[in-house]
Chains A and B, each alone.
Chain A
């Protein structure tokens, strides 16, 4: 027997297998995106920080919407052409669809890229600054580290069971340049001896690691053996007694056993091997400067000049004095909303909280803020005519357009200007297609010392739950676009033979692929307003 209803529909349901299959699949896709949207709704309604409203540049999203709608139309036309038996037309329409998919992904890539190059810092007083991070220490090398932890190390302790090769690959050269040597004599169980002052090397660490693990395994094996022996010896002595019951005076059975085990261990002393879980290295002279990716570890005292430790995720412990770990930022966005929110929670006057913020101590920024206050007051007057008032966003957030547009203008000039004339000074959407362009415009630079940094990240899922949602949903949607395009491309490039033999089957398949494609479009129709305009 063959599987029926592959092409022709079944009489009572009126559907063929693939049609049912795809609609079921789409139902589960509805649940998938329904789950993601639910997450978005939840996170937004119950967010405990000011939600970033309308922060994405709209133009790329708008173009992408047009592209997807266009491709949805062409995919229908491709199916129509197949139904009418026009292979060439089918090819043309399908090709346009796939080109649209590619364009969509390219644009998406441009958007993502701009975000990943854009830095944000939440300061200690919850002020948020956005901008481009410059290399640390005023370096002009574009590839130099931008926000690393720097420390002048006095000792480096390596945990042998956890030491990570990839970390060592980066750090090893720094250790060697700093002249790190073994702090004390190391004797391994296999007889090898490393004198105090042996230079740090991967071989040394590897050998010590192997030795340590073997010793630990050996010792634990003996421990287990002795533990079992002790229980086997003592348990029958006190029949019916459980481990928590007193057997000798107030001593419980388990206390008696552990005392006995200790005795046994003493007898087997020579079978135990020495375990050295940690190796300590010190620089030959004074200290060595070490620079580390900030996501690799934690600095105990971030302030420059403080004594402290840097603990990496592989439990390497670098002790020393914190060096300059500040972040130089060309600022293209300032947001006081979180500061205000926190101030209101504590019952502090928001205006005072903003005025006292660390950021406004900087001359350049203070000037920008003064200008902003002026514009807000003009806006307020303007809005009062229609009984409206400026939003928190208007009052406490400064966008890149404002910073860029008013750079050349003096505050005195602004005072004379009308609100709408000021807006005309701002750069348009095309100039900042995917966000502020730091190559064209020079933004004011501020050096943020590390102790002022509460949280920092580029505009990636890490920055906040809005961006996490944005990247996750659009990323998953992008995967759907790619998958759909691959399926459609398969029909375009390998459908010819099938078209000649079983055109009806191919038309069915294209319809099913088309249904998926429309669904992808349908999801984007919701994504665009929700993520870009709300």
Chain B
């Protein structure tokens, strides 16, 4: 039996794949990782563009969009969706909903889990590929199809989805309800696209977990896994178990839209223009929120963990000392994963759910800050006493720590029921999670890109261009997001399409007392918008960097250019199909820097022990 088996596979190996099989329908985890990465970055760019347009409407609500912003729109599109060149509320909502969706579901998750996870995980555990390579390819294509369905709906008569990235009913039930063919509306396409993305993530997470459990190299015991792999394992479980309820919610909404059911429509639902809803009622929007946030909160950690994982790999390499508290980080991330399943309703304090549930979730939410702080603290202490080298990845990793710290700490007040009553749905919330995602998670990914770029291409990225990218980005991120916290505390609502213009009044006798506060803070809009646009300019050096360095970057001297310990650096550069030339063996943990046994300051995982007693 085994003879047959071997013959069969040999035959396969000698088959030389053509271009299409090698780059388009590839089953190699590295190619798929790069596909994920490039697609995700394109989506990120598109999401960024939508946001820039929105920021114009916030800063200058009475001026028509400038030409450099509206060049992407066709004339018909402008006639339908702009009023005299300005963004009306509906279009703003559409952009806002799609900005959120694209950034979260099509940008960050695929970049972190899909790209980094796919490329690095099998290398770090010493596996030849993912456990189910074909499934891996299918999940990439499901993701692509889902993304295209969502973004393609911009060109439909109804426009793209326009009920926020959370798609709350009954708002989303009424949005596009006036169109005869529900299937071809942005809202329905959004839901169908979401179901595609979820299926993609489910297949991906099954693949990841199986790979990590079963394909670890010889000697790669659980406690010798790099933290990156642990983080990916937890991320995989989060996706596996939290996504299905959202799939349920998505399917229910599709049934609501296409077959007229009332899962989420309460009795007697009324709309000012449409009138009484043509629905039986008896459902509840709260049901949707529960199902949505059951995913929604673990999703936050799905976004975060890959980034923190990248940073955890980069810090030891560039401080030349072991990561501090590896075990506490591992247990921390496991507890984090577990708790993240039972904190979801802190997004829903304002929904009118019962106080018993509110109290429960308030408690778990405050609890979850403990493991998060453990992770961040371990990384911070890892810097202490190290000989830090400020390589491009290290600069981003160092910036990640305080930025993510601000993001995390500003979240604490929101965990409390009472404070949240004031801050709910204000710019404070926007500021909080953008601090986590943009200067936090994205910085972590920039670090990762610069860190593994030499492995992928055999060349370093340019340090000069990186400086040009890093410093403006760091400063502008802060001038963009910090004012949000201030505005939010003053009461700015997150969905004002004209930046508070409608409430503006400086008259102290006005009935709109609130307007006076608005007037005091409204000019921050301009500062934030300009930061956003300049931030876009600041990304140009990065784009140039990754393309130009492909051909002109400094060549790496060896397969292990950073003198790192983990297994991905034991592969040839770039790794071929099957990754390792010979079967890798892990003799020790992944962060053995500055060990006395060896002359060099690192003791690579795959290096045969110099001291015989250490073997095992």
Contacts and interface: CB of A to CB of B under 8 A. Distances in A.
Interface in B6-27: 8-9
Interface string A193-219: 000000000000000000001001111
B599 to A, nearest CB: 31
Contacts of A164: 180-181
Interface in B96-149: 127-129, 131-133
A227 B526 CA distance: 20
A455 B131 CA distance: 53
A220 B76 CA distance: 9
Given A21-B132, A31-B245, A224-B84, A455 B280 contact: yes
A221 B519 CA distance: 32
Contact of A17 (B210, B251, B261, B579): B210
A242 B84 CA distance: 20
Given A31-B245, A48-B282, A461 B213 contact: no
Contact of B82 (A43, A218, A224, A467): A224
A460 interface: yes
Given A220-B79, A457-B260, A13 B9 contact: no
B448 to A, nearest CB: 25
Interface in A156-213: 161-162, 164, 166-167, 213
Nearest to B81: A220
B541 interface: no
Given A49-B282, A463-B280, A468-B255, A221 B67 contact: no
Interface in B252-291: 252, 255-256, 259-263, 266-267, 275, 278-284, 286-287, 290-291
Nearest to B5: A502
A298 B62 CA distance: 37
B523 interface: yes
Interface residues of A, number: 80
Interface string A1-29: 11111010010010111001100110111
A25 B284 contact: no
B583 interface: yes
Interface string B552-585: 0000000000000000000000000011100100
Given A42-B284, A224-B78, A313 B180 contact: yes
Contacts of B84: 220, 223-224, 227
Nearest to B85: A224
Interface in B495-550: 501, 504, 519, 522-523, 526
Contact of A28 (B5, B8, B75, B243): B243
A385 B157 CA distance: 67
Contacts of A35: 244-245, 247-249, 291, 294
Contact of B76 (A34, A213, A298, A504): A213
B214 interface: yes
Contact of B523 (A24, A221, A242): A242
A373 interface: no
B209 interface: yes
B79 A216 contact: yes
Given A39-B287, A457-B280, A231 B63 contact: yes
A256 to B, nearest CB: 11
A190 to B, nearest CB: 17
Nearest to B127: A3
Nearest to B177: A313
Contacts of B70: 224
A55 interface: no
A314 B282 contact: no
Contacts of B526: 242
A47 B501 CA distance: 41
B178 interface: yes
A217 B75 contact: yes
Given A29-B244, A313-B179, A465 B78 contact: no
A461 B261 contact: yes
Contact of A1 (B62, B206, B210, B578): B578
B210 A244 contact: no
B213 A13 contact: yes
Contacts of B79: 213, 216-217, 219-221
A174 to B, nearest CB: 17
A36 B178 CA distance: 28
A232 to B, nearest CB: 10
A179 B1 CA distance: 80
Contacts of A25: 202, 206
Interface in B72-96: 75-76, 78-80, 82, 84-86
B67 A43 contact: no
Interface residues of B, number: 86
B408 interface: no
A48 B267 contact: yes
For B5, B79, B291, the residue with the greatest tally of chain A CB atoms inside 10 Å of its CB is B79
B283 A24 contact: no
A464 B282 CA distance: 7
Contacts of B67: 228
A25 B244 CA distance: 11
Nearest to B275: A298
A82 to B, nearest CB: 14
A220 B256 CA distance: 36
Nearest to B243: A28
Contact of A296 (B128, B180, B504, B522): B180
Contacts of B579: 1
B158 to A, nearest CB: 10
Contact of B282 (A38, A47, A167, A298): A47
Contacts of A464: 262, 280, 282
B4 interface: yes
A43 B281 CA distance: 11
A10 B62 contact: no
A501 interface: yes
Contacts of A242: 522-523, 526
B152 to A, nearest CB: 20
A142 interface: no
A42 B290 contact: yes
A469 B504 CA distance: 47
A490 interface: no
Contacts of B215: 3-5, 17
Contacts of A106: none
B87 to A, nearest CB: 12
Contacts of A471: 255, 259, 261
A20 B243 contact: no
A465 B283 contact: yes
A299 to B, nearest CB: 11
Contacts of A504: 1
Contacts of A314: 180
Contact of B206 (A28, A31, A312): A28
Given A2-B128, A243-B61, A10 B214 contact: yes
A231 B180 contact: no
Given A49-B282, A463-B280, A465-B263, A166 B523 contact: no
A29 B202 CA distance: 10
B79 to A, nearest CB: 4
10 closest A-B pairs by beta carbon, nearest first, are A224-B85, A468-B261, A35-B245, A35-B248, A1-B128, A461-B261, A31-B244, A32-B244, A227-B64, A462-B260
21 contacts: A10-B214, A17-B215, A24-B205, A25-B202, A28-B202, A28-B243, A35-B248, A48-B266, A213-B79, A217-B75, A217-B79, A221-B79, A224-B85, A228-B66, A254-B62, A312-B180, A460-B261, A462-B261, A462-B262, A468-B252, A472-B263
Interface of A: 1-5, 7, 10, 13, 15-17, 20-21, 24-25, 27-29, 31-32, 34-36, 38-39, 42-43, 46-49, 122, 161-162, 164, 166-167, 213, 216-221, 223-224, 227-228, 231, 242-244, 254, 257-258, 295-296, 298, 312-315, 455, 457, 460-465, 467-469, 471-472, 476, 501-504
Given A3-B133, A28-B241, A31-B240, 10 more contacts: A1-B580, A27-B241, A28-B206, A35-B245, A36-B248, A49-B267, A166-B180, A221-B79, A468-B255, A468-B262
